[in-house]
Amino acid sequence: MAVTARVPNDLEPYWMPFTANRQFKARPRLLSAAKGLHYTTTDGRTVLDGTAGLWCCNAGHGHPKIVAAIQAQAAEMDYAPAFQMGHPKAFELASRVAALAPGDLDHVFFSNSGSEAVDTALKIALAYHRARGEAGRTRLIGRERGYHGVGFGGMSVGGMANNRKTFGPMLGGVDHLPQTYDRSKQAFSRGEPEWGAHLADELERIVALHDASTIAAVIVEPVACSAGVLIPPKGYLKRLREITSKHGILLIFDEVITGFGRLGAGFGAEYFDVQPDLITCAKGLTSGAVPMGATIARKHIYDAFMSGPEHVIELFHGYTYSGHPLACAAALAALDVYAEEGLFSKVRELAPYWAEAVHALKGLPHVVDLRNLGLIAAIELDPIAGQPAKRAFDAFLRAYDKGLLVRTTGDIIALSPPLTITRATVDEIFGKLAEVLREMA
């Protein structure tokens, strides 16, 4: 068979994820290096990372401690089988993650991404009820505008139409809570909006419709980030916890973004003082340096599986790369960096300054809402008539040209910089964004 040599800069074969492929390939944006708060482009420009990669590089890029840990691990042991075998770092990391998670969330199942962490949580929820003799609890409840990754489970409980509409009927027995955002009631709220806690009561309606005995779990993001940074109304998450507890329904917090300091705490569960039954996480777990996801379960959930003959596998689930040595090494180093550099408390200190900077954009052209929490922000723009998402994407391109990386979803600009950011870089981010918005008047 003839081998066709391809020129190195042929962009065609790579089918890019969540990307307008033709548009990108006509005008590519290629990054070649990263250090601290900045990327370098292939044409030698420096770009300030306003998004921590994709909400993941919480310790900044190329942290020497994380780099050294990965290098040393690659040299020492590249891989150890994950099934019926183990290696010490996976156990150490599980202990460290359990120690960081609130309450008795103390057992950790490793995977390779947020999507896998979510599918793992949904499967654990179903199998848990079955193990306890409630096999009829098979329904899963997600939320409109939720994002739980792209597996069939996560997509089914997710609530973003574009991610769902082309993929058929998905999982059966799924229902959705209403989303929590209403601009007419919440616009320009600082932090958690006052209005909207009552939307959690919709769960009572869903329970009345299906009966609690058919419902396994409710899954929500404490802050719905990917759909445009929807901050939970004050009291909403506590109310969800009350209702799920009352009906024996598991509550899953998808903390793929809110985990590891984004809100100034180990997890959103701690920040909001609400104890879920399962937490999913990924991204900041390794500071984005090696792919890894994790599902953290409360003790009673793990214990429910630990019956029957001891030689029988308790949960028929896992990934070849569960607890991969390189990911474990990166995660252990990332957790050290977060602790040694006090990054979560730095976020708490910086959050009020961040909030001021976000809300100072009020009144600039096309800005219809501003939202913030921890080191997260959204700038919602008025859409161009008949061309949804175009205005924000134009802003993204202009910001990139000015050396600032932001993220957009629909007509919303989302920001989530590395937790190592300083006041001066906060000023730089919002200074550039203000310029962009003024230019677009």
Ligand X SMILES: Cc1ncc(COP(=O)(O)O)c(C=O)c1O
Cβ nearer to ligand X, comparing 129 with 148: 148
Tell me: does residue 254 bind ligand X (CB under 6 A). Answer: yes
Q: For residues 256 and 433, which CB has a smaller minimum distance to ligand X in the complex?
A: 256
- Minimum distance of ligand X from residue 385's CB (angstroms): 30
Among 23-31, 108-116, 128-136, 312-320, which window interacts with ligand X (CB under 6 A)? 108-116
Token pair, residue 136, equals 């009829």
Token couple for 424? 């001066």
Q: Residue from 217, 225, 378, 404 that binds ligand X (CB under 6 A)?
A: 225
Among 50, 142, 149, 276, contact with ligand X (rule: CB under 6 A): 149
- Return the closest-CA partner of residue 123 out of 110, 136, 138: 138
Is the CB of 60 or the CB of 293 nearer to ligand X?
A: 293
State the residue number with the nearest CB to ligand X. Answer: 114
Of 66 and 437, which has the nearer Cβ to ligand X?
66
CB-nearer residue toward ligand X: 14 or 91: 14
| Residues 267-326 interacting with ligand X (rule: CB under 6 A) | 282
The residue among 207 and 284 lying less far from ligand X, judged by its C-beta, is 284
Restricted to residues 112-141, the positions that interact with ligand X (CB under 6 A) are: 113-115, 118
Q: Locate 97 and state its tokens.
A: 């993650």
Q: Which is nearer to ligand X, 225 or 375 (CB)?
A: 225
Q: Which is nearer to ligand X, 118 or 217 (CB)?
A: 118
Q: What angle do CA 260, 262, 264 make, to 5 degrees?
A: 90
Site for ligand X in 72-91 (CB under 6 A): none
According to CB under 6 A, which one of 126, 227, 240, 257 is a site residue for ligand X?
257
When binding is defined by CB under 6 A, the residue of 192, 221, 277, 380 that contacts ligand X is 221
Q: Nearest distance from residue 314's CB to ligand X, in Å? A: 25
Q: Closer to ligand X by CB, 149 or 233: give it.
A: 149
**SS3 annotation, the chain:** CCCCCCCCCCCCCCCCCCCCHHHHHHCCCCEEEEEECEEEECCCCEEEECCHHHHCCCCCECCHHHHHHHHHHHHHCCCCCCCCCCCHHHHHHHHHHHHHCCCCEEEEEEECCHHHHHHHHHHHHHHHHHHCCCCCCCEEEEECCCCCCCCHHHHHHCCCHHHHCCCCCCCCCEEEECCCCCHHHHCCCCCCCCCCHHHHHHHHHHHHHHCHHHEEEEEECCCECCCCCECCCCCHHHHHHHHHHHCCCEEEEECCCCCCCCCCCCCHHHHCCCCCCEEEECHHHCCCCCCCEEEEEEHHHHHHHCCCCCCCCCCCCCCCCCCCHHHHHHHHHHHHHHHHCCHHHHHHHHHHHHHHHHHCCCCCCCEEEEEEECCEEEEEECCECCECCHHHHHHHHHHHHCCEECEEECCEEEECCCCCCCHHHHHHHHHHHHHHHHHCC
Stretch that binds ligand X, among 42-50, 88-96, 146-154, 212-220 (CB under 6 A): 146-154
Q: Does 163 bind ligand X (CB under 6 A)?
A: no
How near is the Cβ of 293 to ligand X at its closest, in Å?
A: 6
Contact status: 147 vs ligand X (CB under 6 A): yes
Compare residues 149 and 228 and give the one whose CB is closer to ligand X.
149
Does position 59 bind ligand X by CB under 6 A?
A: no
- Contact call for residue 217 and ligand X (CB under 6 A): no
Q: Please classify residue 404 by burial: count the beta carbons closer than 10 Å to its beta carbon, then call 0-12 exposed, 13-18 middle and 19+ buried.
A: buried
Residue 384 CB, shortest distance to ligand X, in Å, is 26
Q: How far is the CB of 176 from ligand X (least distance, A)?
A: 15
Nearest approach, Cβ of residue 223 and ligand X (Å): 9
**Considering just the CA atoms, what is the radius of gyration of the chain in Å?**
22
Count of residues interacting with ligand X (CB under 6 A): 14
CB of 12 to ligand X, least distance (A): 24
**Which residues of this chain interact with ligand X, rule CB under 6 A?**
113-115, 118, 147-149, 221, 225-226, 254, 256-257, 282
